[in-house]
Amino acid sequence: MSVLIDKNTRLLLQGAGKAGLFHAEQSRAYCETNLVGAVHPGKGGTKVLGDVPVFDTVAEAVEKVAPTASMIFVPALGAADAIMEAAAAGLSLAACITEGIPAADMAKAAKFLADKPMRLIGPNCPGVITPGQIKMGIMPGYIHKPGAIGIVSRSGTLTYEAVWQVSQAGLGQSTCIGIGGDPIIGTTHTDALKLFADDPQTKAVILIGEIGGAGEEAAAAYIKASNYPKPVVAFIAGQTAPPGKRMGHAGAIIAGGQGTAAAKMDALRDAGVAVCVRPSDMAKTLLDTLARRGVDARS
């Protein structure tokens, strides 16, 4: 099994520009990901990547090729509208890769999504991958391999680092979810943890966070309150960041003494999570935790 996407997912591309087409081609080449169509206003009726039909609207794509998920590469000023268009058309999942979306636009999109069944991943994220089955976004497929470790991260680069370490340690990944580093996102660490908890393939989880916001503390509270059934290993980036200075992502800023790395690490440790101080120790900490808990994640 997997979470969110698998080999049966019918993938749509929103934004068939240079970046969108490049990554759509890479996604399509990965395990023959089923890219059923693209949406690019004004280009309806044409084809891209040889045989992929292009539509002017998501609603038209839904009617003609029945996609179940969309990856969004629409430029920042139009990306929130693209998210809402996907939800209005009835899609169940969208991953918005676009960065730089104005917070006011995302606040409007978040309100629009509140009563819609569509799950949003991102924005400003690398997307989702189920190794050996499907790639939806910009993650480098070659470093992944099928396995039993779920990964959820605010950082794209640290996602790849965790994947590489896990693969080099002889383990693999069930699903990797890049939730994005913006202040307003769709799917949170806690949401991903709930998905992994219900997935029989996932035997343990690596959670990667960073300074700013309270998502990691909320995840820690959930882990503690739910007596989370699977081992969790965590790393928090930005441990030396000065207050008031944004580090990388738009949401990675300490303000008013809130959102510090130390507070997040303390909350996670209090919830029973194995927290590593250095990113280079993620796989080692995972292996130690699995051995201590008697969990076999190599199957």
Nearest of 50, 28, 3, 24 to residue 134 by alpha carbon = 28
For residue 25, what are its two tokens? 């081609």
How far apart, in whole angstroms, are the C-alpha atoms of residue 70 and residue 86?
7
Indicate which residue of 23, 144, 189, 249 is catalytic.
249
Distance, in Å, from the CA atom of 290 to the CA atom of 171, rounded to the nearest integer, reads 11
189 is catalytic: no
Instruction: Assess contact for 4 and 186: CB atoms under 8 A.
Output: no
Residue linked to tokens 């009563």:
115
The position carrying tokens 């979470």 is 3
Is the peptide bond prior to 123 cis by the omega test (within 30 degrees of 0)? yes
Nearest one of 82, 19, 28 to 52, comparing CA atoms: 28
Strand partners, 153: 178, 208
Which residues are known catalytic residues? 249
